[in-house]
Structure 1
Amino acid sequence: MERTAVLEQFDVMRVRKDFPILTRTVNGKPLVYLDNGATTQKPQQVIDAIVNYYTQMNSNVHRGVHHLSQLATDAFEVTRHKLQPFIHAAHEHEIILTKGTTESINLVANCYGKAFVHAGDEIIISAMEHHSNIVPWQIMCEERGALLKVVPINDAGELDMDAYRSMLSDRTRLVAMTYVSNALGTINPVNEIIALAHAAGAPVLLDAAQAVQHLTIDVQALDVDFLAFSGHKMYGPTGVGVLYGKEKWLNAMPPYQSGGEMIKEVTFAKTTYNELPFKFEAGTPNIEAGICLAHAIDYLMDIGLDNIARYEHELLDYATQRLLRIPGLRIIGTAKEKSSVVSFLLEGAHPYDVGVILDKLGIAVRTGHHCTQPLMDRYGIPGTVRASIALYNTREDIDALVAGVERAASMLI
C-alpha cells in the first residue's frame, strides 16, 4: 500500500494526543521515545481506567459477595473475555492471566516439564531467544535430564530452517521459539515452525511479547499450543501478562503455584484443584493491571492492528534507509521479514556511549545485549543500539534519531 493511503487510515498526530507523556521534555528537549520494545507508553484511556479502579471499585476479586468485589470481579473477567477474540482462542478458559511473558514461559517450563519431559528427551529453542525463553528451559532440562537444542541463524538474523528440520525427532518434547525477535526485529516463519513440530509430535510455545502489539494473531489458525505475551508492551499496565494454552495441555499439566483460588476443595488429607483457568491463577492477582489490560486491547482494536502494522512498516523502511546513509553505521538484523525494530552499531563507538549522547538530546533508545547475550555472542559484538518503533512514532522522531546518531558519530569517532 502506498504511504499516502496508509496515512489516510492512520492519523498519527491524533494518536499522539492520547499519550500525555509524549508532551514532556527530557534534558530540555522534546521527548523522542524509541524504546518501545522494552515497554510502551500508556494512552489516557488506560491511565483513566487505573484511576477509576482505585477510586470506584478497589476490592479483591472472585471472593467477595459485596458490591465492590463483584464490580472488580466482573471488570477483571472482562479482560479474559476480550482476550479470547483478540488472539482468536477457542475458549476463554484457555487464557491464563500471569505477571508477564516471563512468568508465562516459566509456568509452561515447570508444569509441562513435570508432566511430559523425561531423561533423554529434547527441547528445541533458537539462537535469537530472549533470556526468558532460554533460562527456564535450561533449568527444566537440568532437572529432568533432558537436552536443550538450539537452532542457529544466518548473518541476516533468520532461522536456519534446514537445521531445525534436522533437529526434530521422536525425542522432541517441545519447541519454544520467539515470534518476533526483540533484538533483531526478525519475524519468524511460525506457521512452518509449528507445522514441522507437530509432524514430529511436539507441541510449540511462541513467545509473542514483541508480536501482539504489531501483528494480528490467530492461535487457532496457527494451531499453536502455547502463546505468551505481556500487557506493558501492548500499551497496557505492567505486572500483567497472558498465557494461552490449548485446553488439552492445560488440563494435563499440574498447577504452577498453590494457594488460594487455584483450589476447589481443601482438607488436610487431600486438595482438589480448581477448573481452568483458575487452576493456574493462585493468590490475589494484579487486579488493577488485569482490569486495565482490557482498555489497552480496546485501544489496539479500535485503531486496527492491520493499520498499525502498515504504518509501522513504513516508518521502519524510512528509518532503515536514513540510518544506512550514516558512514560507519551497520544494522544488525536484516531479515526479509521484520517488525519495527532497528538495531545498529556505529563503527568505533560503544553502543552505551551512543545511547548516553542520544539521551542528552531527549531520545530514548535501548543499548546493550537486550537480554539476548547468546545472540550478541553469535555476532561477536557487545551489544547494539536499538530503536524500537510504536504506533505513536513519527518521521520527525526518526529524523531526530538520525541527527542524534550523526552528532554521536562526530563526537565519538
Structure 2
Amino acid sequence: MKDATIALHYGYEKDAQKTMNVPIYMTTAYEYQDTDHAARLFALEEEGNIYTRIGNPTTRVFERRISALERGIDALAVASGMGAIFYSISNLVRAGDNIIISQKLYGGSITLSTQTLKQFGVSAKYFDPQKPEELIELIDEKTKLILFESIANPALTVPDFEGIVKIANEKGVVTICDNTMATPYGVKPIELGVDVVVHSASKYIVGNGSAIAGCLVEAKHLKEKLKSKRYPQFNEPDESYHGLVYTQKFENPFIARARLALLRDYGAVISPFNSWLLINGLETLHLRIKAHSQNALEIAKFLQKHPKVKKVNYPFLEGDENYEFAKKYLKFGGGILSFELDSYEEAKNFVKKLKIFSLVTNIADSKSLVTHPASTTHQQLSQEELKAAGVPEGLIRLSVGIEDIEDLITDIKKGLD
C-alpha cells in the first residue's frame, strides 16, 4: 500500500457490525474466556486485550497505521507528546547514564532532559545537529541515546540525519528523532537509519487541536543495537514477568518494554476517544500537510522582503541556512516558520494587531496560530540556552494554517504596519 491508502485502511479488520468507521472501544477492561485464558494473557503467552492501560483495540489501529507510515515494526500511543519523549528516554536510561540532545529542541524537551531527568540521576549534553562530528567526543560508555528533531521547534533547524546516524551506529548508541514538525510525509527518519521516532500527535496528526496525544515508533533494525551490553534492561531477566528477556521474547523489544513495563507502571494512557480522533486525523494528513507547506512558503517569501523583518526562518526558503539539508532530506518545509523583529515590544505589538492568527502556544492546527517563544514555550530557559536554541526575544513563531493565503498575508501586513 501507498501512504495515503495506509492512512485510510491499514490495521483495521471490520468487526461483526462491519462498521466503516473504526469503533471507539470506550472500556477499561475486557472479559476473559476463563481463568486459563486470563493466565495465558498475563503471562504473555497469548496476544489479546488485558486492560486499557496496556492496550485498547481503537488505539491499536492508530498504532498500526502510524507505525506503517513511519516504516517501523511497531508503535505505542501515549497520553501526550511529552509522554512519548519521556517514555522513549526512560526506556533506555538508568541512574548514572547520560544522554545527548540537540541544542535546537522544543523547550519542554530541553527542560525534561536537563532538569527533570537530574532527579533520576541522568545527565544531558548538547550537540549541534548540523555538526554531527561533535558527537565523537561527547559519546562515552554511559551515553544511551541521541535526541534531535526532524525540523526544530521553533528554530526550524534541519539536522544532518546521515551524519548523526553514521556516528551513532559506529558507537552503538540509539538515535531518537522527534518527527512532529515534518510528519511521515515530510521525512521518514527510519528509512534514514534512525532507531526510534516520536511524535506529539496533538499537532499535525490530529490536525485540528482537538486531542492531546503522543506516540513512539520502533525501527526493525533497533533490536540488534539493543542486544549490546550498553542496554542491560533489554537483555537481563525482568522479574516482574518471571524472568522474561525482551530481546529474546520480542521482535519489537523497545515498544514491548515501553508498553509492558513503562505504560503499566507510569500509566500515561491515551483515551480511546483521543485515539479515534488521531485515526480520523491521519486520514487527511497527506492533503493538509501540503496545504500548510504551500501557505507557509508564500508567507516566508513575503516576510523576507519586508523592511521590518530582520530574519526569516523557513527550511524551504532559498537562502535559508537550513536550505541545503532541507532539500536533501525533506519533501517540503512544513507549516511552521519564525521571523525576527527588532525587540520584544515590536513582537508584542505585532501579535496584538492580528485578527486571523490566534495567540496560542499550540502548533500545527488547521487554523493559523502565533506565539512569542521567549515568553511562553521557552520562558524557563536561561539567556544562554535561549541563544543556543535560536530563540531571540524578538522572535515570532507562526503556525500557518490552511486558510486562504491572501487572507493570511493581509493579516500579517496589518500586524507589521
User: TM-score, normalized by length of structure 2?
Assistant: 0.65
Partner of 1:38: none
Q: Does 1:59 align with 2:44?
A: no
Change (3 A) 1:88 1:105: same
Partner of 2:413: 403
Between 1:352-361 and 1:243-252, the stretch displaced more is 243-252
Cα deviations across residues 278-304 of structure 1 (Å, max 9, x unaligned)? 414335641111233122222225x3x
Matches within 5 A, 1:6-155: 53=24, 58-60=26-28, 63-64=30-31, 73-89=56-72, 91-92=73-74, 95-114=75-94, 118=96, 122-139=98-115, 142-143=118-119, 147-152=123-128
Partner of 1:330: 310
- Please give the secondary structure, in 2, of the residue aligned with 1:234: coil
Change (3 A) 1:77 1:147: closer
Q: How many residues align?
A: 326
* Post-superposition offset of 1:241: 1.2
Change (3 A) 1:235 1:113: closer
Change (3 A) 1:196 1:394: farther
Cα deviations across residues 90-149 of structure 1 (Å, max 9, x unaligned)? x33xx11111221111123323112xx636xx4221221112322332247635656522
Partner of 2:335: 340
1:294 to 261, 274, 279: 279
Partner of 1:377: 387
Partner of 1:222: 192
Q: Does 1:175 align with 2:157?
A: no
Cα deviations across residues 53-73 of structure 1 (Å, max 9, x unaligned)? 4xxx53335x2469xx99x94
User: TM-score, normalized by length of structure 1?
Assistant: 0.65
Partner of 1:319: 299
The 2-side partners of 1:97 and 1:207 are apart by 14
Partner of 1:352: 348
- Tell which has more relative contact order, 1 or 2 (C-alpha 8 A, sep 6+): 1
Structure 2 spans left out of the alignment, 5+ residues: 1-19, 34-49, 251-255, 314-319, 327-332, 359-367
Change (3 A) 1:232 1:173: closer
The 2-side partners of 1:174 and 1:58 are apart by 36
* Post-superposition offset of 1:360: 8.0
Change (3 A) 1:254 1:389: farther
Change (3 A) 1:196 1:322: same
2:372 to 360, 367, 370: 367
Paired-residue identity, %: 14
Cα deviations across residues 160-200 of structure 1 (Å, max 9, x unaligned)? 34434543455543211112111122222223212221112
- Please give the secondary structure, in 1, of the residue aligned with 2:76: strand
Between 1:98-107 and 1:394-403, the stretch displaced more is 394-403
Q: Does 1:199 align with 2:137?
A: no
Q: Is the 8 A contact 1:204 1:226 kept in 2?
A: yes
- Please give the secondary structure, in 2, of the residue aligned with 1:149: strand
The 2-side partners of 1:183 and 1:198 are apart by 28
Q: Is the 8 A contact 1:354 1:405 kept in 2?
A: yes
Cα deviations across residues 224-252 of structure 1 (Å, max 9, x unaligned)? 22211022202414232101235637896
Cα deviations across residues 65-90 of structure 1 (Å, max 9, x unaligned)? 69xx99x943332212212211111x
Change (3 A) 1:198 1:76: same
Between 1:206-215 and 1:102-111, the stretch displaced more is 206-215
